[in-house]
Chain A
Amino acid sequence: MKVLVPVKRVLDYNVKARVKPDQSGVDLSNVKMSMNPFDEIAVEEAVRLQEAGTATETIVVSIGPAKAQETIRTGLAMGMDRGVHVQTDEDLEPLAIAKILKAVAEAEGADLIVMGKQAIDNDYGATGGMLAALLGWPIGSAANSIALDGGALSVVKEVDGGLQTVKLQMPALVTADLRLNEPRYASLPNIMKAKRKPIDAKTPADFGVDTTPRLKTLKVTEPAAREAGIKVEDAAALVDKLKNEAGVI
């Protein structure tokens, strides 16, 4: 079984995003970038499937600027076999990404796609669903655990009220929630080894995908600021304030 894992290079999750003064977007110059945390979990799951003998080949793909190669190398250092880098300097929307990924999945003959449930930068949470629909595959989103059960994939999903189990016919797509696994750290020897693993260089044009944005960003602004309030002395003062000043209890 071939497993494809799409990964995204995003602003590191510990860094607070700063809006540019001209309101054109978030300032990404000279800030720490990392692999999207949900994608790390997806990579880890693919590597585990390979270690269990379920996956025969694991392919990590990223769509983005030249530096997205570093993100692919991170996936390779965690244990994936090879990479595909679709280079573009445009900030593509989930629909365009899903179309490119569909073409990659078909070209690679993927049987299973594992990916993050959302990227922590644009917070769309849409690419996985779009990709599954374009491929005509079933989806297990926000996966808490997955297990191959005969020819089908059993997925325990995190839903609003708790957990839900669904069974998907293969080929299938799974989006990873935070609790699917604990991603490993890449060791130095594995990072060195990853430098020799192959990365295919592609462009969106290779797949004939029209990437024209459908949404125009009119402006990006700071959210309404929330000021710090006051410190109270003790529990009695807190109850008094909540009851008599704020009137919320």
Chain B
Amino acid sequence: MAVLVIAEHDNTTLKDATHKTVTAASQMGGDVDILVAGKGIKDVVAAAAKIDGVRAVIGVDHDALERQLAEAMEVVVVGLMDGYDAVLAPDTTSHKNYMPRVAAKLDVQQISSVTGVESADTFVRPIYAGNAMATVQSTDSKKVVTVRATAFAAAGEGGSASTSDADAGLGALKSEYVSEELSKSDRPELTAAKVVVSGGRGMGSGENFKLLEGIADKLGAAMGASRAAVDAGFVPNDWQVGQTGKAVAPQLYIAVGISGAIQHLAGMKDSKVIAAINKDEDAPIFSVADYGLVADLFKALPELEAELTKAGY
């Protein structure tokens, strides 16, 4: 049994989601290798080789892999699958993009966003916006799996895997990268943050999100939002937490002006502690919140910031 894990990285830095996916892969039993596909990835390969329990790291360096375009990744991953019984990648947008292509080419059914590994062929995954958990057993000869990284602990660093390079084997592609417009932020990444401060429709405007920024700064938190806040144009799309946005599971999730619709809860209800501030005491968010404050957020947020200052944050 050999499992290939595909690294999450930005060509210079290896992301923590990789460590978590390695943990999921280890739970399947057998040898775990890591594929780092990108451009100018020397440092990422070196970092991946340090993850505990990894046998080998394969680096594939090619211009077309810089943005991990779906067609290019499909060719690279399928090309390696002769040597593997399973391939796992975190369920971030870039991997969600090409993993189904890999599965189709291998003629297997993908198992998406698993939150539990029971054995080499049996996995647990949320369905219906996390309102049900399905345990599924794959009868396919090879498993193609995307992993809800937040559901797994990160593998440690103390390993010394062997490293090698492989050829991309890419021909002409039918798609090309044009440009990117990324949200600039000094805050931690939403899916990896220990604390997330999230605002909803109740914030009223994008301007009012400043009230959350002060709190996020004090707690070293990432900023998130509900779909309503994104659709209203208060904040960028990539802040969205929920079934169709990002799934987070921080130590602390502070939901402000968020009612707690099914679709939003799907993305945050595995947080260790949930605190909610909402003026509607019947808001569904209070049914999952460990600490609820029924208050007008425009009054409560400045008070909260002041209290944090007082407490030394």
Residues of A within 8 A of B (CB): 11, 13-14, 16-17, 19, 26, 38, 93-95, 98, 117-118, 120-134, 137-142, 144, 154, 157-169, 172, 177-179, 213-223, 226, 228-232, 234-239, 241-243, 246, 248-249
The 11 listed contacts between A and B (C-beta, < 8 Å) are A123-B125, A123-B127, A129-B103, A130-B103, A133-B104, A154-B178, A160-B94, A215-B139, A216-B139, A229-B291, A232-B292
Specify the chain B residue showing the minimal Cβ separation from A169: B174
Chain B hits for A98, CB < 8 A: 104
* CB–CB B135/A217 < 8 A: yes
In the assembled complex, how far is the CB of residue B240 from the closest CB belonging to chain A, in whole angstroms?
A: 9
- For A26, give its contact among B127, B174, B183, B306 (CB under 8 Å): B127
Q: Which residue of A lies closest to B74 (CB)?
A: A133
Q: Given A120-B243, A232-B292, A242-B273, A215–B137 Cβ distance below 8 Å?
A: yes
Q: Could you say which residues of chain A place their CB within 8 Å of the CB of B307?
A: 235-236, 238-239
Q: How far is the CB of A6 from chain B (nearest CB, A)?
A: 14
Which B residues lie within 8 Å of A237 (CB)?
293
Question: What 6 pairs across the A-B complex have the smallest Cβ distances?
Answer: A129-B100, A229-B290, A17-B128, A235-B303, A133-B101, A138-B175
- Which residue of chain B is the closest to A161 with respect to CB atoms? B182
Measured CB to CB, the closest approach of chain B to A120, in angstroms, equals 6
Interface residues of B (CB under 8 A from A): 67, 69-71, 74, 92-94, 96-105, 107-113, 122, 125-140, 173-183, 191, 195, 219, 227, 230-231, 236-238, 243-244, 246, 251-252, 262-263, 269, 272-275, 277, 281, 286-295, 300, 303-304, 306-308, 310-311, 313
Residue of B nearest to A140 (CB): B175
- With beta carbons under 8 angstroms apart, the residue of A127, A138, A214, A231 that contacts B292 is A231
Are B135 and A221 closer than 8 Å at their CB atoms? yes
B135 contact set on A, CB distance < 8 A: 217-221
**Chain A CB within 10 A, most for which of B105, B135, B281:** B135
**How many residue pairs between the two chains, A and B, have CB atoms under 8 Å in the bound complex?**
276
Select one of A11, A26, A125 contacting B96, CB under 8 A. A125
Chain A residues with Cβ below 8 Å from B176 are: 166-167
Query: Could you list 11 further interchain pairs (A-B, Cβ under 8 angstroms) beyond the known A95-B108, A217-B135, A235-B306?
Result: A124-B112, A129-B70, A130-B101, A138-B175, A141-B93, A141-B96, A216-B136, A218-B137, A229-B274, A230-B291, A242-B291
List of A residues within 8 angstroms of B110 by Cβ: 94-95, 124, 126, 130
With contacts A124-B110, A169-B175 taken as known, whether A214 is within 8 angstroms of B273 at the C-beta atoms is: no
Is B94 in contact with A130, judged by CB distance below 8 angstroms?
A: no
Q: In the complex, are the beta carbons of A242 and B252 less than 8 A apart? A: yes
Task: List the B residue with the shortest CB-CB distance to A214.
Answer: B109
Chief secondary structure at chain B's binding surface: mixed
Min Cβ gap A123→B in Å is 6
Q: Is B175 in contact with A216, judged by CB distance below 8 angstroms?
A: no
Given A123-B243, A129-B99, A223-B126, are A246 and B290 also a contact pair (CB < 8 Å)? Answer: yes
Report which of A26, A117, A134 forms a contact with B128, defined as CB distance below 8 A.
Answer: A26
For the complex, give the distance between the alpha carbons of A231 and B291 in Å. 6
Q: In the complex, which residue of chain B has the Cβ closest to the Cβ of A121?
A: B128
Residue pair B227, A231 in contact (C-beta under 8 Å): no
B293 and A231 form a contact (CB under 8 A): yes
Complex Cα–Cα for A167 and B178 (A): 7
**Could you say which residues of chain A place their CB within 8 Å of the CB of B180?**
159, 161-165
Cβ B132 vs Cβ A17 within 8 A: yes
Known A123-B112, A141-B70, A163-B180; contact A217-B136, beta-carbon cutoff 8 A: yes
A17–B70 CB distance below 8 A: no
Q: B74 contacts which chain A residues (CB < 8 A)?
A: 133
Do A133 and B134 touch across chains, with their CB atoms under 8 A apart?
no
- Contact (A249, B103) CB under 8 Å given A164-B177, A239-B307: no
Q: Are B292 and A220 in contact (CB under 8 A)?
A: no
What residues of A have a CB within 8 angstroms of the CB of B129 in the complex?
A: 17, 120, 123
Partner of B127, one of A121, A228, A242: A121
Give the residue name and chain of the A residue nearest to B123 (CB): A215
A127 → chain B closest CB, angstroms: 7
Chain A neighbourhood of B182, CB < 8 A: 161-163
Question: Is the CB–CB distance between A164 and B104 below 8 Å?
Answer: no
Asked if residues B109 and A215 are in contact (CB atoms below 8 Å), the reply is yes
Closest-by-CB residue of A relative to B96 is A125
For residue B13, give the distance in angstroms from its CB to the closest CB of chain A: 13
Query: Given the interface contacts A221-B135, A231-B293, A238-B293, does A160 sit within 8 Å of B175 by beta carbon?
Result: no
Residues of A within 8 A of B181 (CB): 162-165
A215 touches B111 (CB 8 A): yes
A168 to B173, CA, bound (A): 9
- Chain A nearest CB from B25 CB (Å) reads 19
> A219 vs B310: C-alpha distance in the bound complex, in angstroms?
50
Which of B131, B132, B286, B310 counts the most chain A CB atoms within 10 A? B132
Known: A160-B246, A219-B135, A236-B307. A179 touches B237 (CB 8 A): yes
